[in-house]
Amino acid sequence: MSQIMGRDEKDALSTSQLIYPCMQCADIFELGADVCQLGLDQRKVNMLAREYAPTVNRKAPIVLSHHMLMGLKGPKAGKMSKSIPDSAIFMDDSYEEIKRKISKAFCTDEVANNPIYEYLRYVIVPYLQKVTLCGKEYTLEDIVPGYREKDEEGKILIAKPKFMEEFKAMDKKQLKEDVARLINDIVEPVRKHFETEEGKKLLATVQSFNNATTR
């Protein structure tokens, strides 16, 4: 339980901290989910559910853990969070809002610990396959590291795309403008759906649940 809560075994836990992981596991079984797809930060809870399932004659869920996007404010601020609106892009954000958030985002000349690169690598390029950044066209293979054959010691070598080197010289203002435009291309269909009468009703229903839990 301590590890799930991000603490050491020697740390004292409150009753709520002991119950919370159990509630997370209960969600999986209550929904009857065959596949449990959550972020890597929830992997320990998912594995707890898999270990618990056979003891009560339940089918263990398949676990798919995905990468957690870094918050737009940079590595020191941690992962994106709905409680910090400027740390993430939301599916109903307007184009102006997207541009504002991306323009303020943390971005250095290095791809490591860079939220702009993370959005490109994990969201934009895998979805669009081909993008134009700072006047140059890039494909999935240009941006996302691929795998080469094993070396003599059996170690897998990772190909380093030239984009990682070109990234340093890119005009970051132009890059951010391009990234904002590409993100908008992805979220625009969703945003437009929620502008329809059907979408507005659905959004209002979801927001009512959120408001009820925060009272």
What CATH number should be reported for the domain holding residue 105? 1.10.240.10
Kindly state whether residues 32 and 96 are assigned to the same domain. Answer: no
pTM value is 0.75
* DSSP codes joined into one string, the chain: -TTTTT--TTS---HHHHHHHHHHHHHHHHHT-SEEEEEGGGHHHHHHHHHHGGGGT-PPPEEEEEPPPBPTT-GGG-B-BTTBGGGS--TT--HHHHHHHHHHS---SSSTT-HHHHHIIIIIHHHHSEEEETTEEEEHHHHS--EEEE-TTSPEEEP--THHHHHHHS-HHHHHHHHHHHHHHHHHHHHHHTTSHHHHHHHHHHHHHHHHHT-
Q: What is the pLDDT along the chain (215 residues), one digit of tens a residue?
A: 445 544 455 566 678 778 888 888 888 888 888 998 888 888 888 898 999 999 999 999 999 888 888 999 998 877 777 778 899 999 989 999 999 999 999 999 999 999 999 999 999 999 999 999 999 999 988 888 765 555 567 665 555 688 888 999 999 999 999 999 999 999 999 999 999 999 999 989 988 876 655 44
**Residue 176: domain span:** 75-209
What is the total count of domains within the chain? Answer: 2
Q: Let me know if residue 40 belongs to a domain.
A: yes
